Amino acid sequence: MPTTIPPAAAVAVVLALLAGCGPAPAAAPTPTLASPSGADGSPTARLAARIAAVPGARVAVAYRDLGGPESLFMLADSAFHAASTMKVPVMVELFRQADAGRLSLDAELPLRNAFASIVDGSTYALDPGDDSDSSLYARVGGTVPVRELLERMITRSSNLATNAVIELVDAAAVRRTSAALGAADMRVLRGVEDGKAYAAGLNNTTTARALAALMVAIEQGRAASPAATAAMRDILLRQEFNDEIPAGVPPGTPVAHKTGSITATRHDAAIVYPRGAPPYVLVVLTGAIPDPAVARGLMRDLSRLVYEDHARRHARR
């Protein structure tokens, strides 16, 4: 039975006014406590105590046991800036269009560093210094295989690759697919670094519950064809940034995941494959933590606590 901690206050959600995305609710829903798992010593209480050790932090958690009915949600319906976690639904949509024959992952795509703002169509460019994969900029003006752009978008979180792929698949299609997979609150409006859109409050947003729904759909083979979902898992397993959820589980534990960060915000969405127990999905979203090291430490500890509880529960079965 799911455990849900209600939000302490309503959370403003950016209005999504673009075609294909209906208006967002004015505030996150306020669910009710579904079970007494918040009692002292429970998984929820341990997570809450660790979160409380970072004053002012805003943290959402979504956990789904893929080998049983257990789940745990804390502030899971509160909206956060999605940062680079929005690249997960973009990947899903790319594979679905490839499944449908609308594009080929082996096609060569012209690479340019010029994109249209969703506000007024004006052109903006990305700064290689702000991109975790600056090496791709040397290939602007040439062509790059779609498959390589996809790989860089996830494993190295390339912003340039992301914007190229979003132009290819269309953000409205990403939103429709997310909604169809039970993740309507994953709202991908635009590419990365659209400054005019940011100033207008038109940002990509998500909730922990929505991201968890996408990761569950990938692991269960529902996000696209079986071959496509297997390929998605493989790409997520090759993630190069592993300082959050993977750092909280025993060394050698496979973790298929995608991170994301902007100022004072750091996220991770993962499928964890423990030895001797079924996999589980864990999403941790954090905000209002200016020090990245503090945020990483908190996320590592939450990951460890969830792993320990998951392993303990399945050892008793």
Question: Given this model, what pLDDT does residue 13 score?
Answer: 29
Averaged pLDDT for residues 278-283: 98
The one-character DSSP state at 7 is P
Question: Given this model, what pLDDT does residue 108 score?
Answer: 97
Rounded percentage of the chain residues whose pLDDT exceeds 70 = 87
- The token duo for 159 is 């912003």
pTM for the full predicted model: 0.88
Query: Above 90 in pLDDT, residue 4?
Result: no
What span, in angstroms and rounded, lies between the C-alpha atoms of 8 and 6?
A: 6
Averaged pLDDT for residues 36-48: 74
Question: Given this model, what pLDDT does residue 169 score?
Answer: 98
Query: Above 80 in pLDDT, residue 14?
Result: no
Question: Given this model, what pLDDT does residue 40 score?
Answer: 59
Averaged pLDDT for residues 20-42: 40
The candidate with the shortest Cα–Cα distance to 138, out of 118, 121, 152, 122, is 152
Q: How far is CA 212 from the centre of its chain?
A: 8
In the three-class reduction of DSSP (H, G, I as helix; E, B as strand; rest coil), residue 100 is classed as: coil
Residue 9 one-letter amino acid: A
| Cβ-Cβ contacts under 8 Å for 63 (sequence gap 6 or more) | 70, 71, 72, 73, 212, 280, 281, 282, 283, 306
pLDDT digit string, tens, across residues 212-241 = 999 999 999 999 999 999 999 999 999 999
The string of DSSP codes covering 160-196 is HHHHHHHHHH-HHHHHHHHHHTT-TT-B--S-TT-HH
CATH of domain 3-315: 3.40.710.10
Averaged pLDDT for residues 10-22: 32
